[in-house]
């Protein structure tokens, strides 16, 4: 009788331990190809045919928008022509003769997936689609996109226009380092100005994940008959930033939620801090002689297997003339692993306003 009780207790204990162990079984997803990476380290957390070359539809606009921002997109108005807009498919509503800024074109690409915006961007920057595609492919090489070739700025199907789930993930990791890109792609709605004459429009994001949780920070949807449903997303959860890509995925929204449920527990977060207080910025001609600085953004580093110790180097301006605005970038901190590998750069910004003394 005693032995029987012992056996029962051991069985119950064993069952309890089994139920308590986290389950990290890889999810079953509908996508033909998928990848999840740590946004900071680039390490692969999940992979399914992640190097297979496939059409990627309008997720192409991640590259087009990044190039536009790196080119110096601003609010200066240019006039678009009928030739620039000779493209089918989704549109932000441009017409020949409209005046629009390159910044509004970026919003039109990332928010409402405007093929007209992508084509116009190519003409404004490079004078046409083909020379702009050369820029796209050159930038892809710099990022390390070894299974990618761009032909169109919009992502419309074309022979030899392809990428892979992994390549689109590392492209996105590069893109979200740009604060303007990140701000736009993570917004549910944005204001843009265009027309003849320009007037204010409100563009609504097609990315349903942004309405699921504030943890989602973008990035881009895509669809053609050839490519199927394509989705690139990014999430910040538990101090970790991850990027997921699915290509040819009938149930892409569900796929991404499953991928993050699996991947977030596997990733690690390293809070990056400085041992000493962050330096103050000297201010000339202000109501105060100096102003404190703070990190501009989340300073966590997401990784899978990288070393967890680090060093850093602080860079700050010697001084700044007043006025200094709260949130103004005045320096940065570079973080490095023990092996000297660059980890992350975090901007330093003024903690508050400092007005002129007179």
DSSP string, 155-208: ----TT-BB-HHHHHHHHHHHTTSHHHHHHHT-SEEEEEEETTEEEEEEE---T
Q: Alpha-carbon distance 336 to 309, whole Å?
A: 9
**284 and 231 together in one domain:** no
Which of 181-190, 234-243, 337-346 shows the lowest per-residue confidence on average (mean pLDDT)?
337-346
Average pLDDT over residues 265-290: 95
Percent of the chain with pLDDT strictly greater than 90: 88
Identify whether 61 is a catalytic site residue: yes
- The reported pLDDT for the residue numbered 334 is 96
Domain-ending residue, one of 242, 266, 290: 266
**52 and 178 together in one domain:** yes
**282 and 256 together in one domain:** no
Domain-ending residue, one of 234, 266, 298: 266
In degrees rounded to 5, what are phi and psi of residue 55? -65, 145
**253 and 309 together in one domain:** no
**63 and 211 together in one domain:** yes
Q: How confident is the model at residue 11 (pLDDT cuts 50, 70, 90)?
A: very low
Give the 3-state secondary structure of residue 228.
Answer: strand
Identify whether 345 is a catalytic site residue: no
**205 and 308 together in one domain:** no
Nearest to 197 by CA among 75, 86, 97: 97
Compute the half-sphere exposure of residue 15: CA atoms within 13 Å on the CB side of its CA: 6
Give the 3-state secondary structure of residue 337.
Answer: strand
Q: What is the pTM of this model?
A: 0.88
Q: Which of 122-131, 268-277, 305-314 has the highest mean pLDDT?
A: 122-131
Instruction: Tell me how many helices (H) and strands (E) the chain has.
Output: 9, 18
**131 and 186 together in one domain:** yes
Considering 32, 48, 50, 61, which one is annotated as catalytic? Answer: 61
* pLDDT for residue 146 is more than 90: yes
**156 and 183 together in one domain:** yes
Identify whether 14 is a catalytic site residue: no
Considering 50, 58, 154, 263, which one is annotated as catalytic? Answer: 58
**Tokens found for residue 248:** 């040819």
Question: Between residues 206 and 308, which one has the greater pLDDT?
Answer: 206
> Which residues are registered as beta bridge partners of 35?
47, 245
Domain extent, residue 167, equals: 33-266
Q: Residue 193 domain-assigned?
A: yes
Q: Alpha-carbon distance 119 to 346, whole Å?
A: 33
Average pLDDT over residues 47-58: 98
Domain-ending residue, one of 266, 299, 334: 266
Question: Between residues 134 and 14, which one has the greater pLDDT?
Answer: 134
> Residue 339 belongs to a domain with what CATH number?
2.60.410.10
Q: Residue 234 domain-assigned?
A: yes
Q: Alpha-carbon distance 204 to 213, whole Å?
A: 17
**Tokens found for residue 55:** 């059409």
Average pLDDT over residues 222-228: 97
**201 and 185 together in one domain:** yes
Average pLDDT over residues 101-107: 98
DSSP code of residue 137: H
**245 and 336 together in one domain:** no
Element (H, E) at 111: helix 102-112
Q: Alpha-carbon distance 246 to 204, whole Å?
A: 22
- The reported pLDDT for the residue numbered 307 is 65
Nearest to 249 by CA among 168, 188, 151, 347: 168
Q: Residue 292 domain-assigned?
A: yes
**82 and 202 together in one domain:** yes
- Using an 8 Å Cβ cutoff, are 35 and 165 in contact? yes
**314 and 165 together in one domain:** no
In degrees rounded to 5, what are phi and psi of residue 69? -70, -40
Considering 65, 113, 187, 269, which one is annotated as catalytic? Answer: 113
């Amino acid at each position: 009788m005693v032995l029987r009780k012992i056996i029962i207790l051991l069985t119950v204990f064993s069952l309890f331990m089994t139920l308590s162990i986290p389950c990290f079984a890889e999810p079953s997803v509908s996508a033909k190809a998928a990848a999840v990476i740590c946004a900071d380290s680039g390490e692969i957390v999940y992979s399914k045919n992640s190097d297979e070359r496939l059409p990627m539809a309008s997720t192409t606009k991640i590259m087009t928008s990044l190039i536009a921002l790196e080119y110096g997109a601003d609010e200066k108005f240019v006039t678009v022509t009928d030739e620039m807009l000779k493209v089918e498919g989704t549109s932000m509503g441009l017409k020949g003769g409209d005046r629009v800024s390159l910044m509004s074109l970026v919003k039109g690409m990332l928010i409402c997936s405007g093929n007209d915006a992508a084509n116009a961007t190519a003409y404004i920057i490079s004078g046409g689609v083909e020379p702009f595609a050369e820029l796209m492919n050159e930038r892809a090489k710099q990022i390390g996109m070894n299974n990618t070739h761009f032909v169109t700025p919009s992502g419309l199907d074309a022979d030899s226009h392809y990428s892979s789930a992994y390549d689109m993930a590392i492209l996105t990791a590069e893109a979200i380092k740009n604060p303007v890109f990140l701000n736009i792609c993570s917004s549910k709605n944005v204001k843009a100005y265009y027309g003849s004459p320009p007037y204010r429009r409100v563009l609504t994001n097609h990315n349903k994940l942004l309405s699921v949780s504030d943890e989602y920070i973008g990035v881009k949807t895509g669809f053609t008959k050839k490519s199927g449903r394509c989705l690139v997303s990014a999430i910040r959860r538990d101090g970790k930033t991850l990027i997921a890509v699915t290509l040819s995925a009938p149930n892409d929204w569900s796929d991404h939620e499953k991928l993050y449920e699996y991947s977030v527990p596997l990733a690690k977060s390293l809070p990056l801090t400085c041992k000493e207080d962050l330096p103050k910025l000297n201010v000339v001609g202000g109501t105060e002689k100096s102003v404190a600085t703070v990190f501009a953004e989340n300073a966590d580093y997401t990784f899978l297997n990288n070393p967890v110790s680090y060093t850093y180097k602080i860079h700050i301006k010697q001084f700044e003339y007043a006025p200094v605005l709260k949130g103004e970038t005045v320096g940065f901190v570079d973080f490095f692993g023990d092996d000297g590998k660059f980890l992350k750069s975090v901007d330093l910004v003024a903690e508050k306003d400092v007005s002129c003394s007179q």
